[in-house]
Amino acid sequence: MGYLPRDLLMNQGFVRRSCQALRQIASELASAPPLLVGVATPNPSEMGRPLFNSAVLLKNGEVGPAFHKTLLPTYDVFDEDRYFEPAVGPQILELNGWRLGISICEDVWNDRDFWQRRRYHQDPIEMLAESGAQAIVNLSSSPFIVGKQILRERMLSHMAQKYSLPVAYVNQVGGNDDLIFDGRSCVFDREGRLVARAKGFREDTLIVDLGMGDQARSSGTVAEDDFETEAEIWHALVLGVRDYVSKTRFSKVLLGLSGGIDSALTAAIAAEAVGPENVLGVLMPSRYSSGGSVDDSVELARNLGIHTLTLPISDIMQTYDGVLADAFRGRAADVTEENIQSRIRGNLLMALSNKFGALLLTTGNKSEISVGYCTLYGDMNGGLAVIADLPKMMVYRVSRWRNRAKADIPEAILTKAPSAELRPDQRDQDSLPPYDLLDQILELHIEQCQSAEDIIASGYDQDTVRRVLRLVRMAEFKRKQAAPVLKVTSRAFGTGWRMPIVRQE
């Protein structure tokens, strides 16, 4: 199942089964080396929250002592204070002549000399060092964010050097719901030198001898890694899609192919994640669809090796027009008719999803979802929003990065003006500011939490800023009904976004 279990922790049967599974694992690994396993353990006290977030020692077929987490985050996607009681005092494991300081995830993220502002008043690592720990072990489920590993390694290196202690950081890998865990477990020697790093975005094993002193530098393997932003995003989204599909017990996916960059990148990610033979791209041209969009979609599908199906919607549009003619008499065509087209496509995609038992992937990007340039029960239909945490300009960057290895995305898709093609000669820029400008304003507001006044003071046009932020507020009700969004930035429209629908500013 993985992290985060969220309100499953309120289910006493779930907690009991977790402890039973722990005993079974201990029995099956009786002849294996000692093992630390993360699990929720009951708090026997009559006070406080009912559980601890724990690392439990399995040794010689037995379940040994538990070591509890001290710092319980409640920001972004975390809500640990809802379930867990914090540890009191340093958590030391005596094992094979070593005094190992055991910490869990957040416990390493509060060093007074590394952070300008700390979230917590105590530092568990400082307490472990003062208690005579000879090495620090950290069990983590640290969600992926672009650029985070570089920060992690800087922080852990500083910590190892500061306390003159080896630091072993063990991170989860895989996807769970909207969260992606990139692995990249790593070890630093007492001088803060990186001596081992596991592979990113895949399971891996590191064997490191912390007792080798200066020779520890050669005792592990430092896996090659690509910290380029586009590379990290690509690998994270492929992993996120692969695990979401498999863990929800699907084997196939489908998506609408519009001839635009968003559906093209989503299709490329899906083909890499589950295999092109398990991806269906659906073309649904209308009377407003350009021949180029259809041709580009066909070329993309051929390049990727995915299956396609074409379902024209012009006749269905005419049927809607006829049924609604009397009700709409005297009223000019507007966004209503555009949304009907999107909802026709959404209904067709959901019908295919139901009939074929395939997971429908939505293809909207973060810029569109931020300002509501998307249709409820239309293009927002689906079970997973693959690129909904990528601003539009980043969609282009990742697509071009992908094409460096294999030019599957046709150049025409990369260079054409973005359009929903819901009316003649429509362009996104008819309704929105240019995407490069829009993305800058959205980044300042969403990820940096800046107000309209702050952004305007930075030099952005006042009318544009206030219009964009108004669109963001108005679209909240849509985002509440959106598919889960794979998180790759510091602030995604998922479990970490907690905005009210009804508000006045």
DSSP string, 168-237: EEEE-EEEETTEEEEB--EEE-TTS-EEEEPPBSS-------GGGGGGGGGSS-B------HHHHHHHHH
Q: Nearest CA to 299 among 386, 416, 392?
A: 416
Question: What are the backbone dihedrals phi and psi of residue 138, each rounded to the nearest 5 degrees, phi first?
Answer: -125, 120
User: Residues 130-151, buried b or exposed e (16+ Cβ, 10 A)?
Assistant: eeebbbbbbbbbbbbbbebbee
Q: C-alpha 301: how far from its chain's center? A: 26
State the Cα–Cα distance between residues 80 and 76, nearest whole angstrom: 11
- Fold classified for 6-227: Nitrilase/N-carbamoyl-D-aminoacid amidohydrolase (3.60.110)
Q: Is the dihedral of CA 17, 21, 23, 24 positive or negative?
A: positive
Backbone phi, then psi, for 36, in 5-degree steps? Answer: -100, 130
How deeply is 6 buried, as exposed, middle or buried, from its count of CB atoms within 10 A (0-12, 13-18, 19+)? middle
Segments making up each domain of the chain, as ranges: 6-227, 231-432, 434-474
DSSP state of 443: I
**Which one, of 482, 473, 486, lies nearest residue 442 by Cα?**
473
The alpha carbon of residue 174 and the mean position of all alpha carbons in its chain are separated, in whole angstroms, by 10
Tokens of 105: 């995830």
Residue 274 and residue 261: Cα distance in Å, rounded? 20
- pLDDT tens, the chain, 505 aa long: 468 899 999 999 999 999 999 999 999 999 999 999 999 999 999 999 999 999 999 999 999 999 999 999 999 999 999 999 999 999 999 999 999 999 999 999 999 999 999 999 999 999 999 999 999 999 999 999 999 999 999 999 999 999 999 999 999 999 999 999 999 999 999 999 999 999 999 999 999 988 755 544 546 689 989 999 999 999 999 999 999 999 999 999 999 999 999 999 999 999 999 999 999 999 999 988 887 889 999 999 999 999 999 999 999 999 999 999 999 999 999 999 999 999 999 999 999 999 999 999 999 999 999 999 999 999 999 999 999 999 999 999 999 999 999 999 999 999 988 876 677 777 777 789 999 999 999 999 999 999 999 999 999 999 999 999 999 999 999 999 999 999 999 999 999 999 999 987 6
Q: What Å distances lie between residue 13 and 9, 18, 20, 111, 380, CA to CA?
A: 9, 9, 10, 37, 36
CA 250: distance to chain centroid? 19
Q: How many secondary structure helices (H) and strands (E) does the chain include?
A: 15, 16
Topology of the domain covering 231-432? Rossmann fold (3.40.50)
Q: So what's the pLDDT on residue 431? A: 80
What pLDDT, on a 0 to 100 scale, did the predictor assign at position 214? 52
CA atoms of 412 and 432, how far apart (whole Å):
22
End-to-end CA distance of the chain: 40
Per-residue pLDDT reduced to its tens digit, 268-300: 999 999 999 999 999 999 988 887 889 999 999
Domains 231-432 and 434-474 share a fold: no
Per-residue model confidence (pLDDT) at position 209: 86
Tell me the pTM. Answer: 0.95
One-letter-per-residue 3-state SS of 242-257: HHHHHHCCCCCEEEEC
HSE-up (13 A, CA, CB side) for residue 64: 15
Cβ-contact 179, 143 below 8 angstroms: yes
Q: CATH for 434-474, among 1.10.10.1510, 1.10.10.10, 3.10.20.740, 3.40.350.10?
A: 1.10.10.1510
346 within 8 A of 377, measured Cβ to Cβ: yes
Instruction: Give residue 421's pLDDT.
Output: 64
* Torsion angle of C-alpha atoms 8, 12, 13, 19, degrees rounded to 10: 90
State the pLDDT at residue 17.
95
Beta-carbon contacts of 8 under 8 Å, excluding residues fewer than 6 positions away, are 1, 14
Tell the burial category of 108 from Cβ atoms under 10 Å away from its Cβ (0-12, 13-18, 19+): buried
- Number of Cβ within a 10 Å radius of residue 222: 14
Beta bridge mates, 251: none
| Residue 189 CA to its chain's centroid (Å) | 31
The 3-state DSSP composition of the chain as helix, strand, coil percent (nearest 5) reads 40, 15, 40
Per-residue pLDDT tens digits for 470-501: 999 999 999 999 999 999 999 999 999 999 99
For 108, the token pair is 């390493």
